[in-house]
Chains A and B, each alone.
Chain A
Amino acid sequence: MSQRQVLQVFEQYQKARTQFVQTVAELATRPQNIETLQNAGVMSLLRPLLLDIVPTIQQTAALALGRLANYNDELAEAVVKGDILPQLVYSLAEQNRFYKKAAAFVLRAVAKHSPELAQAVVDCGALDALVICLEEFDPGVKESAAWALGYIARHSAELAQSVVDAGAVPLLVLCVQEPDLSLKRIAASALSDISKHSPELAQTVVDAGAIAHLAQMVLNPDAKLKRQVFSALAQMAKHSVDLAEMVVEAEIFPAVLTCLKDPDEYVRKNCATLIREVAKHTPELSQLIVNAGGVAAMVDFVGDSRGNVRLPGVMMLGYVAAHSENLAMAIIVSRGVLGLDAVLQTEPEDHIQAAAAWSLGQIGRHSPEHAKSVAQANVLPKLLRAYLRPDVSEDLQIKSKKALKHILQKCVHLEALEPLLQEAPPNILKHVVAQFSKVLPHNPKSRRLFVTSGGLKKIQEIRAEPGSALAEYINTINNCYPEEIVKYYSPGYSDALLERIENYLPQV
């Protein structure tokens, strides 16, 4: 055979390989094909193609592997078991940028499913190779490497620590400053994943100077970038007072309040999370937020959003109110109680209602003024109903009971307490009656109102064990009124009168 014919055989083979690998890569983009591909044993076929001489075939094979591993974790485990990772890591250091991108994609696809798979990726020494990729010029390579590192660090604190030990954090902070938008997004999300686990990790990220750069991007028009930036800042601020203060010193307020009105709802949610994490540490930080007008913005946010998105907002109002009665009064004045009331009424989910109940309790428990403002918003019957409903979760029950108790212990606004007399179970009733017994001895007008509104009648109908606190309170109340009135309202009085008629001898 002539030389040309021999070479033609090789060319045909190469063409066939290229076509195979390109078609597999294309098919792997559609989920319905992946089952068939898996059953046809595509893994074992793709593995030797990774070592092919032609670079395009290598890259496309890596891309196809990445797409397959991305789909579910069985395939990712097959990638790990097939010893493909060491080969990928080795060539990650040497090959051109397209191959690096594809290899980083495979690592990311494997690491994203579970902590064990991520640990397997780390054990192959992928971290050093990925960190070297972060130093490349091409933004696409940096993006894939940063994405893979983010997915590895997401699972647990040890993995995040190993990512930090590989020296990734300063490079990620450099990536955040790049002009390429998607690279910024991915780097911000990786920083967020690293700093969410523990205060030391967050401190490492902050020491690399991340806060200043993230704070600059707060007013960027791109929505997805803002999501990641706010999430990163929130994760950093949540661990300790110092970190929260450093985040605040980057002068994000009041610019952050603008983002509470962003059209994208996840930006709003992450923004609210950030404000909550800052506000929960100390009264001074909460005071700062209140003075910047944050409470008004947050109340509007809670009113405009629906569902899980408004949970951080509700919690933030509770945290701020819990610090001091000044701040609670500030929330009341900014119409926070009405907002929380709306949440309690309209939300179907239990945990959001529980958060709203808790926040209302924190607002109302400081002084009679606060309790009065809360009670006037007609919140107490709703809390009671939330406590008594048979199908609620335990969390909601406990929180609404505690909130009721706190508010009732300070509430002297009797009109709001009277509806509770009708429906309350004994442990709540005790507090209600206690409040009545505190106010009635001193205030004649309220005594009259109490009688005319039928409260005295209800009191008489309550059966209390003698010697309990409830009986004492009832006694106190009864002592405020003359004998005849008490007897008149006591149950069975009409029967007693009728009996007297029977025993009465008419005096003719």
Chain B
Amino acid sequence: EAEVHRKEEYDAAVRIQSWYRGIRTRSLVKNLNRCAIRIQRHYRGFMGRRRIRAILIDSVKRMCLDHYNKQAAQIQKMWRGFYVRKYVFDYYSRKKYLESLVAKNEMIRSELAEQEEAMRREARKREEEETRRRLRAWAERHHYLVSTVVQPSVFNSPYRPFTLPEETLLLNTRPKTPPKVASVGHGFDPSWRQYGQNQLMVRLPSKLPPLPAKPQGPFRQPEEVRAQRYREFQPSLRVATDYEAYGHLAYGNAHFREVQPERHVTQDRFRTIVPPVPVFDKLNAEYVEGYVEN
């Protein structure tokens, strides 16, 4: 019977031992778990606190920035309101601007009206001048329509009670002869006495005489040559004076070199301090004996 109980006791002992072993391992594992958890707990706390710190720093920074931004926005808001009220939408200055604009408009309008008036006057004057010119040109060319004593003209018809204004116009304008046909240009004739006028330059021949076959250069400029060739005649005073100019004064003949011995005070020569010089006596005689007659 002990054998029977041995198994039971053996089983019981094993059961107790297994339970005890279970307890021991469980407690060991629990301890280990607890340690591990503790370590992990501390570690997690550490990491979390670190992260929180970073987040905290970040959020504090952001809060500071927000604060500064808000303050800055406040300043800008106030400045913008001030600026706009003072400069952009300044009611009084706008009113003044509009008033000054009205004044300026009036000024411009009056100036423009003046200028327009001036332009119109100008245009009218030009028109009047034009009509006057045309009438004068007509009158100058139609002088033959003037009425004579014998034959009244179209404008002075005897069947009409009054004369037409064209008649007075024709009478008052000086008739213009038709322009002379320009003759072929003469060469310069030195015997012409019409120096002093510049008509020489007008009457130049259209072609200069042809050059010889072998030209000898260098030539002066054709304008220089022409000016020299057709230079104005510059006479001396003697040539320019008319032959009969001093007709009443008998120039160049006896009167100017005349000697009137009967009016001399005495027939003697003047007494000289110096003895007479024979050469002077000779010179005092006439150039040609008998040349000058009294």
Measured CB to CB, the residues of A under 8 A from B are 221, 254, 257-258, 260-263, 290-293, 295-297, 300, 326, 329-330, 333-334
Contact A290 B109, beta carbon cutoff 8 Å: no
Taking CB atoms and an 8 Å cut-off, the chain B residues in 33-91 that contact chain A are none
Q: Which of B107, B113, B120 contacts A293 (CB 8 A)?
A: B107
13 contacts between A and B (CB under 8 A): A258-B112, A263-B119, A291-B104, A293-B105, A293-B108, A296-B106, A296-B108, A333-B98, A333-B101, A333-B105, A334-B101, A334-B102, A334-B105
Question: Cβ of A263: which chain B residues have Cβ within 8 Å of it?
Answer: 119-120, 123
Q: Which residues of A contact B123 (CB under 8 A)?
A: 263
Contact of B98 among A221, A260, A330 (CB under 8 A): A330
Give Cα distance in the complex from A257 to B105, angstroms: 12
Of residues 82 through 130 on chain B, the ones whose CB sits less than 8 Å from some CB of chain A are 94, 98, 101-102, 104-109, 112-113, 115-116, 119-120, 122-123
Count, chain B residues at interface, CB 8 A = 18
- Among A221, A258, A260, the most chain B Cβ lie within 10 Å of the Cβ of A258
Cα separation A149 to B10 with both chains bound (whole Å): 131
| Contact indicator A261/B119 (Cβ below 8 Å) | yes
Q: Which residues of A contact B113 (CB under 8 A)?
A: 261
In the complex, the answer to whether B101 meets A330 with C-beta atoms within 8 Å is yes
B116 contacts A261, CB within 8 Å?
A: yes
Shortest CB-to-CB span from A77 to chain B, Å, is 43
Question: B116–A329 contact, CB under 8 A?
Answer: no
Task: Give chain B's interface residues, CB within 8 Å of chain A.
Answer: 94, 98, 101-102, 104-109, 112-113, 115-116, 119-120, 122-123
How far does the Cβ of B80 sit from chain A's closest Cβ, in whole Å? 18
State whether A293 and B104 are in contact (beta carbons under 8 Å apart), knowing that A263-B120, A333-B98 are contacts in the complex.
yes
Q: Looking across the interface, which residue of chain B has its beta carbon closest to that of A326?
A: B94
Residue of A221, A290, A291, A297 near B112 (CB, 8 A) is A297
Distance in angstroms from B121 CB to nearest chain A CB is: 11
Least Cβ–Cβ distance between B128 and chain A, in angstroms: 16
A504 to chain B, nearest CB (A): 62
Is there contact, CB below 8 Å, between B109 and A296?
yes
Q: Provide the main secondary structure of the chain B interface.
A: helix
Top 3 closest pairs, chain A to chain B, by CB: A293-B108, A296-B105, A261-B116
Given A330-B101, A333-B102, decide whether A257 and B108 contact each other with a Cβ distance below 8 A.
Answer: yes
**Cβ 8 A contact of A297, one of B98, B101, B109:** B109
B105-A295 in contact (CB<8A): yes
A254-B108, A263-B120, A296-B104 given. 12 additional CB < 8 A pairs? A258-B115, A261-B116, A262-B119, A263-B123, A295-B105, A296-B108, A326-B94, A330-B98, A333-B98, A333-B105, A334-B101, A334-B102
CB-CB under 8 A from B101, the residues of chain A are 290-291, 330, 333-334
Tell me the nearest residue of chain A to B116, going by C-beta.
A261
Among B94, B98, B104, B108, the most chain A Cβ lie within 10 Å of the Cβ of: B108
- Which of A254, A291, A293, A329 has the most C-beta atoms of chain B within 10 angstroms of its own C-beta? A293
Whether B98 lies near A261 (C-beta < 8 A) is no
Cα A262 to Cα B104 in complex, Å, equals 21
Contacts of B120 in A (CB 8 A): 263
| B112 pairs with A260, CB closer than 8 A | yes
Contacts of B115 in A (CB 8 A): 258, 261
Chain B residues with Cβ under 8 A from A326's Cβ? 94
Check A300/B109 contact, CB under 8 A, given A326-B94, A334-B102: yes
Q: How far is the CA of A263 from the CA of B121 in the complex (A)?
A: 11
A297 proximity list for chain B (CB < 8 A): 108-109, 112
How many whole Å from A214's CB to the nearest CB in chain B?
A: 21
- Contact assessment for B98 and A300 in the assembled complex, using a CB-CB cutoff below 8 Å: no
Give Cα A334–Cα B116 distance, bound, in whole angstroms: 20
Q: Smallest distance from the beta carbon of A287 to chain B beta carbons, Å?
A: 11
Min CB distance A103 to B, Å, is 29
Chain B hits for A261, CB < 8 A: 112-113, 115-116, 119
Q: Which of B98, B112, B122 contacts A329 (CB 8 A)?
A: B98
- Give the residues in chain B near A295, CB-CB below 8 Å: 105
- Residue on B nearest A258 in the bound complex, by CB: B115
Which B residues are in CB contact (< 8 Å) with A254? 108
Chain A residues whose CB sits within 8 angstroms of the CB of B105 once the complex forms: 293, 295-296, 333-334
B94, B98, B120 pick with most chain A CB within 10 angstroms: B98
Q: Which of B94, B105, B107, B122 has the most CB of A within 10 A?
A: B105
Complex Cα–Cα for A489 and B116 (A)? 60
- Which residue of chain B lies nearest to A296 when distances are taken between CB atoms in the complex? B105
CB neighbours (8 Å) of B106 from chain A are: 296
Chain B neighbourhood of A258, CB < 8 A: 112, 115
Complex CA distance for A297 and B123, rounded to whole angstroms:
21
Nearest CB on B from A277, distance (A): 21
Contacts of A257 in B (CB 8 A): 108, 112
